[in-house]
Amino acid sequence: MARWNWRAYERSQKALFPRPQMVHDHADNIIILRGIIAMTDSQLSPAGWPLWKIGLAAAVLSAIANLALMLVTKPLLGISKTFGPLTPGPIIAWSFIGTFGAVGVYALIKKWSASPGRVFNIVAVIVLLLSFVPDVAVVNVAEGPMAGGTLGGAVVLMGMHVIAFVIVVSMLRRLAR
């Protein structure tokens, strides 16, 4: 009868299931718990995703999240069904336009900046804040495609910008290496 080699078994288990480690990623200022279930960044995407794939995935996720927000908030806040910006067509179109605009800006910043992540975050926050201006401007518009704008509608539009911001910036920072 063969004896069980416990030391060999322990070594194999350590190799298969390393102890969890807290790793502070200084580039992204994120603390990551590695070695439990999550794969490391190199296992997930050794060379990073191509920007067009990140842009497409982020645009689809942003559009879906923003459509869900519209479907939930429109009846709750009593927003007019004819309020142009809160209809599916513009939500989908602007989700894609904004996302691919952000991807283009990210590509330019990555090419020309020594610290692209930090610069992109600053630019993205500034653009997010500037995107609130037209949202506020639609309040109490009486004519045209913006007719029927209310404060509730403006708040929903701002929420959509924040949702798209979070999705796009986080995907670009995590997947584009």
If asked whether residues 79 and 165 sit together in one domain, one would say yes
Residues 40 and 56 occupy one common structural domain: no
Give yes or no: residues 39 and 66 share one domain.
Answer: no
Are residues 69 and 92 in contact, defined by beta-carbon separation less than 8 angstroms? Answer: no
What's the CA gap between 38 and 99, in Å, rounded? Answer: 27
In-domain check, residue 19:
yes
Confidence of residue 20 (pLDDT cuts 50, 70, 90): low
pLDDT confidence bin for 47, thresholds 50/70/90: low
Measure the CA dihedral 126/169/134/74, to 10°. -150
Say which range, 4-18, 43-57, 70-84, 128-142, has the weakest mean pLDDT.
Answer: 4-18
Average the pLDDT over each of 5-9, 37-41, 161-165 and give the range with the smallest value: 37-41
Q: What is the pTM of this model?
A: 0.69
What is the domain range of residue 139? Answer: 51-175
Q: Which residue has the tokens 């004819």?
A: 82
**pLDDT tens, 78-113?**
887 878 888 899 999 999 999 999 999 999 999 998
Same domain assignment for residues 148 and 69: yes
Do 66 and 20 belong to one domain? no
Do 15 and 100 belong to one domain? no
According to the model, what pLDDT value does residue 67 have? Answer: 95
Question: Is the model more confident about 135 or about 92?
Answer: 92
Q: What is the average pLDDT value for the chain, to the nearest integer? A: 80
Ordered DSSP codes for the chain: -PPP-HHHHHHHHHHHSPPPEEEEETTTTEEEEESSSSPPHHHH-TT---HHHHHHHHHHHHHHHHHHHHHHHHHHHT--TT-GGGSHHHHHHHHHHHHHHHHHHHHHHHHH-SSHHHHHHHHHHHHHHHHHHHHHHTTT--SSTTTT--HHHHHHHHHHHHHHHHHHHHHHHHH--
Q: Is residue 1 part of a domain?
A: no
Based on the domain organization, do 87 and 26 belong to the same domain? Answer: no
pLDDT class of 44 with cuts at 50, 70, 90: very low
Q: Say whether both 26 and 55 belong to one domain.
A: no
Q: Is 112 part of a structural domain of the chain?
A: yes
- Same structural domain, 133 and 170: yes
Contact 137, 158 (CB under 8 A): no
CA distance 114 to 130: 25
Number of structural domains (the chain) is 2
Compare 134 and 82 and report the one with higher pLDDT: 134
Range with the poorest average pLDDT among 41-50, 64-73, 92-101, 130-139: 41-50
* One domain, residues 76 and 107: yes
